[in-house]
């Protein structure tokens, strides 16, 4: 009798913004049985800790500026692991369909005749908005939500003036270190200098920092650790302060981002909420 041919499959999977509790149930189930995991640099250590010891795990992430593994090499690794009959996970930060190179990976897999499936994840914008309690489309202030990238590596450049609007909430992925440049582009798009801005670094992770500022002051922000996300729009205005009894009841122990601190000596009139 012929040996049955084991069919390999690739899961293009979102790891969410970092807190393992934000993985989908589907993602956890597949990670438990995957034989090969190729992950991005952004995937948090707490997520990688969930992968069984017997799984072959490889970091194929590209840090800005470093050569590392090419996109074509990633395609070949995915294809050959699947052809060997393995269950393969291509694990990406946030949601796999946003600001990654998943389109190219899907094309390469299709061309090679490899079966694949997309497992969604919580995109970092949603993790950051939840952590900072930002109602992204509060109908009083925003009628649209724009996800945009400040980093154009091989992608069509965003025409900022076309997508910037006072009644939009703008979420800028990959802001990079030059907030002055971003502030200039958003102002040129018609936003007022008083428009509230939030920078969220390491959203949902233990090192999370949330910095509150305005478009006028944004230019002075620097040295914030990556990964960071910028949310700009009226919806990012501070909420009225919590009453003392609400503060106590909404606080969970052991979660640093639950505690809100207002630092009066923060630079550039910005306010850091830890």
The catalytic residues are: 40, 62
> Interaction with ligand SAH in 43-72: which residues (CB under 6 A)?
none
Binder to ligand SAH among 174, 224, 268, 274 (CB under 6 A)?
Answer: 174
105 scored as a contact of ligand SAH (CB under 6 A): no
Q: Which residue is nearest to ligand SAH (CB)?
A: 94
CA 174 to chain centre: 9
The CA-atom distances, in angstroms, between 72 and each of 39, 76, 159 are 15, 6, 29
Q: Contacting ligand SAH (CB under 6 A), which of 27, 31, 87, 123?
A: 123
Residue with smaller CB distance to ligand SAH, 8 or 16: 16
Residue 218 near ligand SAH by CB under 6 A: no
Which of residues 11, 116, 160, 173 is near ligand SAH by CB under 6 A?
173
Smallest distance, ligand SAH to C-beta of residue 18, A: 5
Q: Cβ 230 to ligand SAH, closest distance in Å?
A: 8
Map residues 181-210 to x or -, x wherever contact with ligand SAH holds by CB under 6 A: -------------------xxxxxx-----
Site for ligand SAH in 128-157 (CB under 6 A): 128
Q: What is the DSSP string of 216-227?
A: HHHTT---PPSS
DSSP string, the chain: -PPPPPPPEEEEEE-BSS-GGGS-HHHHHHHHH-SEEEE-TTS-HHHHTTS-TTSEEEE----TT---S-HHHHHHHHHHHHHTT-EEEEEESB-TTSSSSHHHHHHHHHHHT--EEEE----HHHHHHHHHT--TT-TTT-SEEEEEES--TTSPPP-HHHH--TTEEEEEES--S-HHHHHHHHHHTT--TT-EEEEEESTTSTT-EEEEEEHHHHTT---PPSSEEEEESGGGSPPPPPPHHHHHHHPPTT-GGGS----TT-GGG-EEE-
Q: Which member of 228, 235, 236, 273 binds ligand SAH (CB under 6 A)? A: 228
- Cβ distance to ligand SAH smaller for residue 80 or 149: 149
- Site membership for ligand SAH, residue 179 (CB under 6 A): no
Q: Which C-beta is closer to ligand SAH: that of 8 or that of 18?
A: 18
Minimum CB distance to ligand SAH smaller for 78 or for 172: 172
Options 95, 105, 217, 221; binder of ligand SAH; rule CB under 6 A: 95
Which residues in this chain contact ligand SAH in the complex, by CB under 6 A? 17-18, 42, 92-95, 98-100, 123-124, 128, 173-174, 200-205, 226-229
């Amino acid at each position: 009798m012929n040996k049955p041919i084991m069919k390999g499959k690739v899961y293009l999977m979102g790891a969410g913004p970092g807190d393992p509790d934000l993985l989908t149930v589907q993602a956890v189930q597949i990670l438990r049985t995957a034989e090969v995991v190729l992950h991005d640099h952004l995937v948090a250590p707490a997520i990688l800790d969930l992968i069984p010891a017997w799984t072959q795990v490889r970091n194929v992430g590209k840090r800005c500026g470093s050569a590392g593994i090419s996109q074509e090499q990633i395609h070949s690794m995915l294809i050959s692991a699947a052809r060997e009959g393995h269950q393969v996970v291509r694990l990406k930060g946030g949601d796999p369909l946003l600001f990654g190179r998943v389109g190219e990976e899907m094309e390469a897999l299709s061309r090679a005749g490899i079966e694949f499936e997309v497992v969604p994840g919580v995109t970092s914008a949603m993790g950051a908005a939840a952590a900072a309690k930002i109602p992204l489309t509060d109908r009083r202030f925003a009628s649209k939500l724009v996800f945009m990238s400040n980093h154009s590596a091989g992608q069509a450049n965003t025409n900022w003036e076309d997508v910037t609007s006072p009644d939009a909430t703008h979420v800028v992925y990959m802001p990079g270190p030059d907030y002055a440049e971003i502030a200039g582009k958003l102002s040129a798009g018609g936003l007022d200098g008083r428009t509230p801005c939030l920078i969220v670094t390491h959203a949902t992770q233990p090192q999370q920092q949330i910095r509150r500022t305005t478009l006028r002051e944004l230019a002075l922000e620097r040295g914030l650790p990556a990964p960071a996300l910028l949310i700009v729009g009226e919806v990012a205005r501070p909420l009225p302060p919590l009453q003392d009894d609400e503060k106590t009841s909404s606080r969970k122990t052991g979660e640093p981002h639950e505690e809100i601190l207002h630092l009066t000596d923060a630079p550039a009139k910005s306010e850091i909420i830890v």
